[in-house]
Amino acid sequence: MATAWVLGSMGWMPARKQQTACVLVELGSDLVLLDAGTGIANLGLCANVLARHERLCVLLSHFHLDHVAGLMYLKRFAADKTVDVYGPGTYAYPRSTEDYLSDVLQPAVYSSGHTGFARTVRYHDFSGSRFVVGDVRVGVRPQRHSSPSFELRLNDDVVYATDTSFYAEDWREVRPAKLLLHECWQASGRDARHTDIQSLVAGVPNAFGRVVLIHQNPAWDDAERVEVEQAALSRGFELAYDGMAIEG
């Protein structure tokens, strides 16, 4: 059984008291962070969960700043832990995950550097479309985005799909999961990089147990937010909010 906590439900930048992409998932003896946006600042909401684990695994869907900037906040929460960071690195890019993140977290920018936010920090590139982290079977699937981005699957418990444009045909052969965390960027209109609610409502397979919408657009006005929320409710989908706990 998995429990997920949405720590960052916004895309691009924090807004409406919501931080950027980050979800904490506990699966038995394993603790996994899906993306490392500014939502890591909300890890204090899960202090009792963190206390149960000596090791934290971070899975990165891609390297955009709103998905990795929170790594420097981990020092507050994981200074005594081992942190393993997995990213697409040489699986999809010219350089390794550690290379990219050492640039982002170089000492001139972040004084502790890219290995200074935990007792032990280890970097890994995806070793294929399926690999194992602890006792968790991880699946990665390419997404449609402006640079290589990957859907992340944890067993058959959680599918995390953000920074992607949604096309129903891409989901016809996807094995369902208990929880789908999917981005929702706009009320209508096709975008080559992101997802609109109308496409989701029309195309998400019914077999997913629960659908929660993340990576929301900070530029929504009140009318757009209401429009998205009403369309989501028509399919029983939910808009995520920071601090949301999801039992599964």
**Domains of the chain, CATH where assigned:** 2-247 (3.60.15.10)
Distance in angstroms between the alpha carbons of the first and the last residue of the chain: 6
pLDDT at 167: 95
Residues facing 25 on adjacent strands: 4, 32
* 210-214: strand order across its sheet: 130-133, 136-142, 150-154, 158-161, 179-183, 210-214, 238-239
Is-contact 36 60, C-beta < 8 A?
Answer: yes
Please give the angle made by the CA atoms of 155, 19 and 243, to the nearest 5 degrees: 60
pLDDT at 191: 85
Task: Using 70 as the pLDDT threshold, list the residues of the chain that sit under it.
Answer: none
* Residue located via tokens 């506990």: 26
φ/ψ bin of 56: left (φ > 0), alpha (ψ from -120 to 50), beta (otherwise):
beta
pLDDT at 189: 81
